[in-house]
Structure 1
């Protein structure tokens, strides 16, 4: 069947892979967008992502419910976000340094607590098949879409609308652009940033649950492969726009799916180089956006990166 489809099979594999691989990027980047729009950066989301993957998988094994795992992952991510926000409220504390510390702490804690769950099998998250109209297995596989991807796509639209049209979105933007102006308007800057960081952590935890309960669908110490850190770069590339985060997540997902797609059609030499595509893309985007004239266009004024 692959021979009949020719290059179309590569395209279908990349599309299907982009949808599968992009979901963790999407949730982490949306969470970090909320956090950074409030004027705080959280580099600890890699640790939150890994801990969310472990807690979701362990909960699903113990309860036989993948949705219980997602709920626990979101809760654990919110706790990590609250911890990050609480520490950053202290005087003379750098949020970048705190994020790096929590990244190491979250990853180490996940590896320690997750050892008993490496071998057991957890029930996977459900997926919806949009390809039943086709008799081609490649089309069916490409259009087998997990529920969390659809939820993330809807959330990107909701957040884009909320930042522009709701009081809560306006408050977050004001706090992120000018803390002095927010205080003059009577808003508690530290509290808004605390809630924004907790919300961002909860979404990163859900991204981790997707990793362990759907794709790749297992728990091990290398389940993240740095996706939490790449998602932070993705937010900068997307200019803190939730809709652009969705498109950028698909771009990163497609890059990550290119290597397996080539391997699936029998490319036996050099395909492994394409496995590095997401990392090369991250580096290229950071270089491309490092121009002093346009690097931080659209960045919240209070964000540490812009000072």
Structure 2
């Protein structure tokens, strides 16, 4: 038989060896576990809602109006006041207009009798002034006061119409007119009015040390002033497209809301200054000669001047009226 006393005992576990080493002795028993644990403090405790009371016919309580506390005023940057401009001062010298020169060029005589020519340009100026008022109502100010008079080709009467329109506008009681000769290659305004040559528009654009008001000629026609073309250069179009042009024109109109500027420009299809000036005006009048201007030329001119927001057509040298009207005869008839 095998001797059981010599059977080796199985090795003790780590816990048993630790028990014998530290002398703990006894049996390990689990710690008592309570039947009901405490509620954790980091969770929201839902309170039981009381049962709703039975509804009764009562008037609903009045709700108090919300009270809004005044907010602190926000910091607003100081508004920059709009600068106050002063009108430029023109020379006090009055230049006498040669009435014989006006008659020789077929222009309106300011002190003369009412003629068919005057009546026709009275109608034209009413349309021009109405366009100025409409443009101002839409927010345009400086450009609204500037009117360009041009034609598709030479010898169609654009200078003739510009001069007559300026004389007719000068008769208005609450406005004044500045006629600008912008046909630098072939200026004609001074000869039409019998005035001497001198520095003018192009000289001011080419030289920063010149003021435009020093070149404006006041005339003995009440309300009419003239700005000569000045000396012709080989860079007229480049000067007109520079920022200097806007500064000069702004100086003439920014503090004078009742001043109308009429530009007698070169023909649109013969020289580029007409298209350059179209960027600075509120309306443009294209003069077409009844017996000369072709449809294609007129359409091309309208395209070149399309930068202007308001384009008008004026038919010159028309000897036929479908209605048979004859302006001016009424004033010459005797009264009985």
Name the structure where strand makes up a greater proportion of residues.
2
What TM-score, normalized by structure 1, do the two folds share?
0.25
Task: Between the two structures, name the one with larger relative contact order (CA 8 Å, sep ≥ 6).
Answer: 1
Which has the larger share of helix?
1
